Structure 1
Amino acid sequence: MGSWSRVSAAKCQMLLTSFFVLLLGLFVAAMAALTYFGAHFAVIGRASPEGTPYEAMHRWAFYTGISLAGLLTLGAVLSATATVREAGGLMAGGFLCFALVFCILGQVALWRFHNPAQVEDAVLDTYDLVYEQAVKNPSSPRRQELLAIQDTFLCCGKRAPSSLLGSSEADLCTGEEATRQDCLQGIRSFLRTHGGITSALTGVGLVSMGYAMLLSSFLWFAIRSGRSLSRKGTYTLSPRARGCQPQEPRFFRRSQEGLALHHLSEAGALRDHLGPSRCSSGPRLLQDN
């Protein structure tokens, strides 16, 4: 496969990768919006006091997701435009966006690896705080917040022997609510599902960014070296040697040669018709009378 074929294949792959990266950016934006405005996280956020780890983590997750979505979209648009227009500057901009996304996703993956239960612990701590305050003071607004959390996660209270439950705790789960699962288990199940989707997007994003960086760097070097797909020929004028006249086109050379031969033939016919020339300077032979 020649260089032209390799560049052509890389361009097609870059366009497909840009489309995939654009879809990935939309998924990341949707996950960020779901994390911040979703019913499960919103009800925990309203119940969480100010200054708690959950509040800071909630905002950090939203702003990180929106930033990633913006960089992914910008990188996809720049790389696709650079591929079509064969612009080295736009391709370099797309590579920079992909590199930034790769670094951010790498930090997120490391944070998830070293702190796998940090989000879960923050949410459960918030629920424990609301639960304890609601049980101690049933007339406080915390009881309404606790009921809202339980209705959202479809759970009720904490699992404990019925003999150890107080009257206030027993009143939280009555009727159909008593058949619901434990809230600690329900919250853990939801957060692990959400965390699994986030981890999958992070892994796909890392692989996609690595491949996109390889393609963009290859195409950047190809554009800089002039090996483009729709390359138009470039022509250079070589310096003319001294004393040499420019050659005329072949058609005119043949026409001039034909005219010259025609004139020579006419001159020969005229000479034959008139006879030998009187101005001949050749020697004459003397004849005896």
Structure 2
Amino acid sequence: MSMPALGLGTFRLKDQVVIDSVRNALDVGYRAIDTAQIYGNEAEVGEAIAQSGVPRDELFITTKIWTDNLSRQKLIPSLQDSLKKLRTDRVDLVLIHWPSPGDAVSVAEFMDALAEARAQGLARQIGVSNFNIALMQQAIAAVGADNIATNQIELSPWLQNGKVVEFAQSQGIHITSYMTLAYGAVLKDPVILEIAASHNATPAQVALAWAMRLGYSVIPSSTRRENLASNLKAASLKLSLDDMARIAGLDRNERLVSPDGLAPAWD
């Protein structure tokens, strides 16, 4: 099952806010929803999906295993708990959210446990998130590159993460971009604004279309129905080679997410 190019992110969305966001997203046409154990909203995401009436087989649901649950003993039970909250018997993709702090649980151990979860039918695909090249190499050694569906990383016009992208793609590992809009900061970039004006598009559509043109999946979040619908139109925005080159020139290695104790040594 191929990964959708555009889905809904739910980071920082809680309670009725996330229910409304997911319901509105599904209503305007989204079919991919990204959540995580640490977001504390899996139950609400599951409720919104149930309320929507969209058949499960039309959806692509992603969740992520938190660092407290990476050991062989905890990973599968924690995923089973996530499935109960999401009201489904399997997710389409399950990711390791962050590498184990201090390597307390080895990459080999949690990747083997993740592969076992898939073998048990709890997930259709498995992958990683926030992995640098060295960690991807360890994951590949554990389960093989063919068994790693994606590396979900922070990536925006201001943080293009070239080394990680190049390595992942050389191994056939798909890239999922989070924070593609850099908390909205890139929407004020003069180059993005100029390109948006030339296409009669929004700056958000330009940033998302740029990432998708490069072959990445994107998972922007929004609490406003009109923005959800607008972002969805990014999939049909055709940027020119000149547009792409101009955005490529915006890279400034500006990282917004690098929590102490969790983040690896970035490439």
**TM-score (ref. length: structure 1):** 0.22
Q: Which has the higher contact order (CA 8 A, sep 6+)?
A: 1
The structure that has the greater radius of gyration is 1
Q: Which has the higher helix share?
A: 1
So what's the TM-score if we normalise by structure 2? 0.24
